[in-house]
Amino acid sequence: MDLPVEHLETFAAIVEEGSFEGAARRLHITPSAVSQRVRAMEERAGSVLLRRTRPVATTTAGAAVLRAAHQIHRIVADVAVELEQGPAGGALIPIVVNADSLATWFVPALARAARETGARFEVLRADESMSTERLRSGEVMAALTATAEPLPGCTSTRIGTDRYRAVASPAFVERYFADGITAEQLATAPVIEFDRHDAFQQRFIRRITRARIDPPRHFVPSSAEFARAIELGMGWGMIPLLQCAPGLASGSLVELGARAEIELPLYWQRWNLRSPVLDALSAIIAEEAAAALGTARPQARP
């Protein structure tokens, strides 16, 4: 299948701008020319590539084409760097990361990567169980995810295990759990969840009680504010050990249960593409994760 580079560039611009008109303005061509290029691509692919919504959305076939467009752009950018003709501000690398990693160890790793590679980063936040959808769609080049199986065209490397503890403020424990952590108390004690996809608290409840319990809930979709809400006594919740260890040491937080940890294996999925910038970023992420999470040397899965 022959897809000219300028057609792939146009396709990526449409998705990034959200419309044919936006792509036309960005590329300094007419909307008619944009439409003609997309029609030509769809004829060659034998499939619809874009849903003409606002903003536009890729079909399954379109996601594969978008990924190819971004990969070709990455290759061209790498060549430009080698020829000392790359952008002055460095390449822009879009990645997706879960909120708890962003709040603990990931940003220092990214800062190191920025210093050592000269690249710029666009960080998208998504739950670790859903981040691969951004990678599958071609929006990002790499994802920190809980999914071990590599997506098509990607490699998957286990980089560590984040460990979560169930914690609450001392006053909250005195009010709701003075007689111990039981099913009855867990059914009435308010719990804090990140969002409606957050299953960590239910996993803890089932581990402690072997029962399904529906406690009253608060939703706080930010890692720092989530932890702060727990410290202020709004409810109990699961916090990464990296984040709650200082509070446990100072006494501002109390652990529920006898070290009933919930483990979250983390994987770094990235395009299976030889790229100096992406290779360097991946090596730095693996090293920093090993240091922060106390893991062994990671192994990649093609």
Q: Report the percent of the chain where pLDDT is more than 70.
A: 92
pLDDT tens digits for range 223-256: 999 999 999 999 999 999 999 999 999 999 999 9
Angstrom distance (rounded) from CA 285 to CA 118: 15
Mean pLDDT of the chain: 89
What is the rounded (10 degree) CA torsion for 224, 227, 232, 236?
A: 150
Angstrom distance (rounded) from CA 274 to CA 241: 35
Which pLDDT value is given to residue 82?
64
Distances (CA, A) of 210 to 77, 203, 213: 53, 10, 9
Lowest mean pLDDT, pick from 63-67, 158-162, 258-262:
258-262
pLDDT tens digits for range 9-32: 999 999 989 999 999 999 999 999
Which pLDDT value is given to residue 81?
63
Which pLDDT value is given to residue 259?
66
pLDDT at residue 299 is higher than 80: no
Pairing of strands 120-125, 92-97: parallel
Lowest mean pLDDT, pick from 85-89, 207-211, 259-263:
85-89
Tokens, residue 275: 């790229």
Long-range contacts made by residues 210-213, C-beta under 8 angstroms, separation at least 24?
211/183, 213/183, 213/186, 213/187
Q: How confident is the model at residue 302 (pLDDT cuts 50, 70, 90)?
A: low
pTM for this one?
0.76
Angstrom distance (rounded) from CA 164 to CA 243: 9
Tokens, residue 53: 């919504």
Which pLDDT value is given to residue 135?
87
Angstrom distance (rounded) from CA 13 to CA 178: 59
pLDDT at residue 77 is higher than 60: yes
Lowest mean pLDDT, pick from 65-69, 199-203, 230-234, 235-239:
65-69
